[in-house]
Chain A
Amino acid sequence: MNWDWSNVEDFMPHFWDGLLVTLQALAWGTLIAFSLGLLWAIAQRSDQVWIRWPVTAITEFIRNTPLLVQLFFLFTVVPEFGPTMSPLTTGIVGLGLHYSTYTAEVYRAGIEGVPVGQWEAATALSLPKRRTWTAIILPQAIRRVIPALGNYVVSMLKDSPQIAAIGALDMLGEAKGFTQATFTYEAISIVGIAFIVIAYPASVLLRVLERRLVR
Chain B
Amino acid sequence: MSADSSTSKETVNPTVDGSELIRFDKVTKRFGSHVVLDELDFSVASGKHVTLIGPSGSGKTTILRLLMTLMKPEEGTIKVGGEYLTHETKNGKLVPASEKYTREVRKNIGMVFQQFNLFPNMKVLRNITEAPVQVLGLSKDEAEQRARELLELVGLTEHIDKYPSQLSGGQQQRVAIARALAMRPQVLLLDEVTSALDPELVAGVLDVLRDIAHTTDITMLCVTHEMNFARDISDQVLMFDSGRVIEAGTPEKIFTEPEHERTREFLSAVL
Task: Spell out A's residues near B (CB within 8 Å).
Answer: 115, 117-118, 120-121, 123-129, 131, 135-136, 139-140, 143
Report B-chain residues with C-beta under 8 Å of the C-beta of A129: 99
> Are B118 and A121 touching (Cβ within 8 A)?
yes
Sample of 29 A–B contacts (CB below 8 Å): A115-B117, A117-B113, A117-B115, A117-B117, A118-B119, A120-B70, A120-B113, A121-B113, A121-B117, A121-B118, A123-B68, A123-B106, A124-B68, A124-B70, A124-B113, A124-B180, A125-B110, A125-B135, A125-B179, A126-B103, A126-B106, A126-B131, A126-B183, A127-B130, A127-B134, A127-B135, A136-B121, A139-B121, A140-B120
A175 to B110, CA, bound (A): 65
* Further 7 A-B residue pairs, CB within 8 A, beyond A115-B117, A120-B113, A135-B134: A120-B70, A123-B68, A123-B106, A124-B109, A124-B113, A125-B179, A128-B103
Min distance, Cβ A111 to any Cβ of chain B, angstroms: 14
Please tell me if B45 contacts chain A, counting CB pairs below 8 Å: no
B residues contacting the other copy or chain, number (CB 8 A): 25
Mask: chain B, 153-165; 1 = CB below 8 Å from A; 0 = not: 0000000000000
Please tell me if B222 contacts chain A, counting CB pairs below 8 Å: no
A126 to B69, CA, bound (A): 10
Please tell me if B193 contacts chain A, counting CB pairs below 8 Å: no
> Are A121 and B135 touching (Cβ within 8 A)?
no
Min distance, Cβ B167 to any Cβ of chain A, angstroms: 16
Main secondary structure of the interface of A (DSSP, over half): helix
> 8 Å CB contacts to A: which residues of B48-107?
68-70, 99, 103, 106-107
Please tell me if B143 contacts chain A, counting CB pairs below 8 Å: no
> 8 Å CB contacts to A: which residues of B126-180?
130-131, 134-135, 179-180
Find the A residue at minimum CB distance from B180.
Answer: A124
Min distance, Cβ A79 to any Cβ of chain B, angstroms: 43
Among A117, A121, A124, the most chain B Cβ lie within 10 Å of the Cβ of: A124
> Are A135 and B103 touching (Cβ within 8 A)?
no
> Are A131 and B134 touching (Cβ within 8 A)?
yes
From B99, B103, B119, B121, give the contact of A121 (CB < 8 A). Answer: B119
> Are B117 and A120 touching (Cβ within 8 A)?
yes
Main secondary structure of the interface of B (DSSP, over half): loop
Min distance, Cβ A169 to any Cβ of chain B, angstroms: 44
> Are A118 and B107 touching (Cβ within 8 A)?
no
Find the B residue at minimum CB distance from A129.
Answer: B99
A-B pair number, CB within 8 angstroms: 58
Find the A residue at minimum CB distance from B65.
Answer: A120
Report B-chain residues with C-beta under 8 Å of the C-beta of A120: 68, 70, 113, 117
A4 to B110, CA, bound (A): 76
Min distance, Cβ A133 to any Cβ of chain B, angstroms: 12
A115 to B117, CA, bound (A): 9
Q: A118-B119, A136-B121, A139-B121 are in contact. Are A124 and B134 (CB under 8 A)?
A: no
> Are B111 and A124 touching (Cβ within 8 A)?
yes
Among B107, B109, B117, B135, the most chain A Cβ lie within 10 Å of the Cβ of: B117
> Are A118 and B117 touching (Cβ within 8 A)?
yes
A21 to B109, CA, bound (A): 57
Report B-chain residues with C-beta under 8 Å of the C-beta of A127: 130-131, 134-135
Report A-chain residues with C-beta under 8 Å of the C-beta of B131: 125-127
Min distance, Cβ A212 to any Cβ of chain B, angstroms: 14
Report A-chain residues with C-beta under 8 Å of the C-beta of B135: 125-128
Report A-chain residues with C-beta under 8 Å of the C-beta of B121: 136, 139-140, 143
A121 to B106, CA, bound (A): 13
> 8 Å CB contacts to A: which residues of B2-20?
none
Among B109, B118, B121, the most chain A Cβ lie within 10 Å of the Cβ of: B121
A157 to B68, CA, bound (A): 48
A126 to B180, CA, bound (A): 11
Report A-chain residues with C-beta under 8 Å of the C-beta of B117: 115, 117-118, 120-121
> Are A123 and B70 touching (Cβ within 8 A)?
yes
Report A-chain residues with C-beta under 8 Å of the C-beta of B70: 120, 123-124
